[in-house]
Amino acid sequence: MEFHCPSCGFVTCDFPFPLPTVDALIEIGYRKIVLVYRRFEPLGWALPGGFVDVGESLEEACAREALEETGLKITHLRQIHTYSDPARDPRRHVISTIFAARAQGRPQGADDAEKAEIFSLDDLPASLAFDHQQILEDFRDGHFGIRPSPSESF
């Protein structure tokens, strides 16, 4: 199997391999998170995120994707889980590392995101892109989020 560059058609690899991606689970206030509505297929609500660029750490990619898609500068970035089901993305096999983070302000959809909104973990959209429903259920049920210390507030 050959993989071709979508722009020029050049053969980029003659064997399949998964690509690294990141997703940002951005908390704004207690039990409130940011979701983006995807501008491109597959459409739907999703966590902000995307592909890791060459020469970029996972943390750098997560901060970049969050800023590009929501306009938010994230803080308190913490890796919480990795999802690797080969069927998690209909486009190809990706392995996504999920980060919890905090942010302040109002998200604005940009780049790959048509819009960005804040949702309560108790009132999420009915259908999410990729496996993001499972990610949010795991987050909600497992409390992987970043909790403020007694001296901090949201």
SS3 94: strand
The helices-and-strands tally (H runs, E runs) of the chain is 2, 9
Q: What integer is the mean pLDDT of 67-72? A: 98
DSSP string, 52-88: PPTT--HHHHHHHHHHHHH-PPPEEEEEEEEE--TTS
Q: What integer is the mean pLDDT of 18-27? A: 97
Q: What integer is the mean pLDDT of 69-91? A: 95
pLDDT at 64: 98
Report d(CA 33, CA 74) in Å as an integer.
12
Q: Report the chain's C-alpha Rg in angstroms.
A: 16
Report d(CA 6, CA 84) in Å as an integer.
24
- Tell whether the model's pLDDT for residue 147 goes beyond 60: no
Torsion angle defined by CA atoms of residues 132, 129, 66 and 76, in that order, rounded to the nearest 10 degrees = -10
What pTM was estimated for this model as a whole?
A: 0.83
**Confidence band for 75, pLDDT divided at 50, 70 and 90:** very high
- The pLDDT tens digits for 41-53 are 989 999 999 999 9
Place of tokens 């966590």: 47
Give the chain's domains with CATH numbers. 17-142 (3.90.79.10)
pLDDT at 9: 74
User: What percentage of residues in the chain have a pLDDT greater than 70?
Assistant: 85
Torsion angle defined by CA atoms of residues 123, 125, 128 and 133, in that order, rounded to the nearest 10 degrees = 20
Comparing 152 with 38, the larger pLDDT belongs to 38
Structure tokens at 88: 């998690």
Report d(CA 19, CA 81) in Å as an integer.
16
pLDDT at 16: 75
Is residue 20 left, alpha or beta, with left meaning phi > 0 and alpha meaning psi from -120 to 50? Answer: beta
- Tell whether the model's pLDDT for residue 14 goes beyond 70: no
- Tell whether the model's pLDDT for residue 154 goes beyond 50: no
